[in-house]
Structure 1
Amino acid sequence: MSSADRHRGAHPADKELFGMEMLPALQLATADLSWLLGHGYARTSALKLVGDRHELKERQRLAVGRAACGDEAREKRRHSHLNAEHLRGRAVMVDGFNLLVSLEAALSGGVLLHCRDGCIRDMSSVHGSYHAVVETDAAILAAGKRLAELGAASVHWLLDSPVSNSGRLAQRIRETAAAHAWAWAVEAVFNPDTALIAARDAVVISSDAMVVDGAECWFNLAADLILEGHVGTSPWVVNLRNAPSTTPGKSRTQESCDTCR
């Protein structure tokens, strides 16, 4: 199948798994998992406990796992996050696959998660292989136009070289930049996460939890583009950010965990 035929859209079961009637359970599960993570529970076992308690399907568990974070992590990310106006005149480093896959999903009707830390995250995965889709060029263009509007002084894209087709995507990004006279550097490196975390003089563009936790400062470009209407007309955003508070009262998940601590 060529890129002209591929999309990064919704899974056939997503309408049922992420419909409005499922939202309360998903929000409560996100709140429960966030509480457990904030109290030192291991992510894998905590997610199983919450998923079993709320009878979540595998894809719903994946969503809750991506959306949840403890209070301390949320506050740390909020503190290091910059507003859009603070990108003007700054060097920017872009977590390439992380950003583009989310924008591709937004443009093709895939499920997007508005997570507890404010990030927009997609439900796709790039595990060793990436294939361009119909929306790839539009995603690159949307990111480029917005970065130009925000006045970034320089833009350095990083892609994972072990991921297949990273070289082809790098060339595609370079060609888009050249067509619009954007002075971008595009590089495929073995471990972009390490380089992004080490970038002390640049604003990091990513929604990867490990990257934003380690970055000195970061900007939520995917959320900026998707929530402000710069990408697509009606992206499918599942709001798990405003999960119901579980304090001072406790859910049954939390009560059972207190019993077994």
Structure 2
Amino acid sequence: MMNEIITSDLKQAVKDFSYLIENQYPRKTILKIISDRYLLNKTQRVLLGRGIFKKDEVEQRVRKRTESIRDKLVYIDTYNVLFILSNYLLGRIVFIGNDGFIRDAGEVYGKLHREKVFLEAIGYLLDYLGYTIPAQTIFLIDSPVSFSGELAIELKNLLIEKKVSGDARTIHNPDAEMIKISEGIVATSDSEILDESACQLCDLPYLILNSRFSPELPDLRKIRG
């Protein structure tokens, strides 16, 4: 599957796209032009659009990144983290952007958050938190998403069961809330939060998947622009 995604056309598209965004060309416009020029498929277009960033953006994210959450205050972008884990468990495309953060290929989520695999992803996440022992873990959950209240209750119960100090909160706009946080660690791969947050950044899906499965994922860092 890796060879079907990281083709010579995608590699050239990454190089062209990287050059043009560095030179301030409009991202959305050139994404379509380059994708069409190299006849990229839907998945490759997603990788290009969601996985390639300017050098200064990458450098800033790398500087803020940490892999140590032990004894730290951690805020989790709940659906962002759990959807990535769930998509991996379903065998869907999950990849590493040129900033080093894991993302999924943006497939339709539908009622994924009510599926068995979603519960499995929650289990992996809580097991990891129980093992790494952060000082406190705060789950931020999008309240407009169906069943978010039930998810918050479930996570609160699991925190108690796993003896992990923390809370689960439903919030109308978790992204805006996470950007405002001024201390602790933020766990997300959302580009806006990565850029705007003053906190350290943690790629929890990467840490969890690496500890459990050591997967070989499409890695856009290996394509030099």
The question of a shared fold, defined as TM-score above 0.5 by the shorter chain, is answered with yes
Query: Shift of residue 160 of structure 1?
Result: 0.9
- The answer to whether residue 208 in structure 2 is matched with residue 221 in structure 1 is no
Q: Provide the rounded CA distance (Å) in 2 between the counterparts of 1:204 and 1:22.
A: 30
Change (3 A) 1:21 1:122: closer
Q: Provide the rounded CA distance (Å) in 1 between the counterparts of 2:142 and 2:185.
A: 19
Secondary structure of the residue that 1:56 maps to in structure 2? coil
Matched-pair contact (CA < 8 Å) for 2:14–2:223:
yes
Query: Shift of residue 150 of structure 1?
Result: 2.6
Change (3 A) 1:130 1:136: closer
Q: Which amino acid aligns with 1:58?
A: K
Q: Provide the rounded CA distance (Å) in 2 between the counterparts of 1:214 and 1:190.
A: 19
Query: Shift of residue 197 of structure 1?
Result: 1.1
* Map of 1:257 onto structure 2: none
Secondary structure of the residue that 2:75 maps to in structure 1? strand
**Which deviates more, 105-114 or 132-141?**
132-141
- The answer to whether residue 77 in structure 2 is matched with residue 74 in structure 1 is no
* Map of 1:38 onto structure 2: 22
Matched-pair contact (CA < 8 Å) for 2:133–2:164:
no
Secondary structure of the residue that 1:77 maps to in structure 2? helix
**Which deviates more, 236-245 or 182-191?**
236-245
Q: Provide the rounded CA distance (Å) in 1 between the counterparts of 2:145 and 2:18.
A: 31
Change (3 A) 1:27 1:150: farther
- The answer to whether residue 94 in structure 2 is matched with residue 112 in structure 1 is yes
Pick from 94, 102, 105 the counterpart of residue 76 of structure 2: 94
Superposition TM-score, scaled by structure 1 size: 0.78
What is the correspondence of 1:189-200 to structure 2 with a 5 Å cutoff?
189-200=171-182
Q: Provide the rounded CA distance (Å) in 1 between the counterparts of 2:164 and 2:172.
A: 25
Percent identical pairs in the alignment equals: 28
Secondary structure of the residue that 1:135 maps to in structure 2? helix
* Map of 1:56 onto structure 2: 40
Q: Provide the rounded CA distance (Å) in 2 between the counterparts of 1:127 and 1:103.
A: 12
Matched-pair contact (CA < 8 Å) for 1:27–1:242:
no
Q: Provide the rounded CA distance (Å) in 1 between the counterparts of 2:105 and 2:169.
A: 25
Segments of 4+ in structure 1 off by > 3 A? 124-131, 233-236
- Bigger fraction of residues in helix: 2
Pick from 114, 123, 126 the counterpart of residue 141 of structure 1: 123
Q: Provide the rounded CA distance (Å) in 1 between the counterparts of 2:174 and 2:215.
A: 28
Matched-pair contact (CA < 8 Å) for 1:94–1:156:
yes
Change (3 A) 1:204 1:126: farther
Structure 1 residue runs of 5 or longer lacking an equivalent are 1-14, 246-261
Change (3 A) 1:109 1:144: same
CA offsets per residue over residues 27-83 of structure 1, 9 Å max, x none? 33233222222221222101012101211123321221111101111011111112x
Secondary structure of the residue that 1:157 maps to in structure 2? strand
Superposition TM-score, scaled by structure 2 size: 0.89
Q: Which amino acid aligns with 1:94?
A: I
* Map of 1:23 onto structure 2: 6
Secondary structure of the residue that 2:163 maps to in structure 1? coil
* Map of 1:240 onto structure 2: 220
Output the aligned Cα RMSD: 2.1
Q: Provide the rounded CA distance (Å) in 2 between the counterparts of 1:182 and 1:151.
A: 7
* Map of 1:65 onto structure 2: 49
Query: Shift of residue 122 of structure 1?
Result: 0.6
Secondary structure of the residue that 1:93 maps to in structure 2? strand
Query: Shift of residue 235 of structure 1?
Result: 4.6
User: Max radius of gyration: which structure?
Assistant: 1
* Map of 2:143 onto structure 1: 161
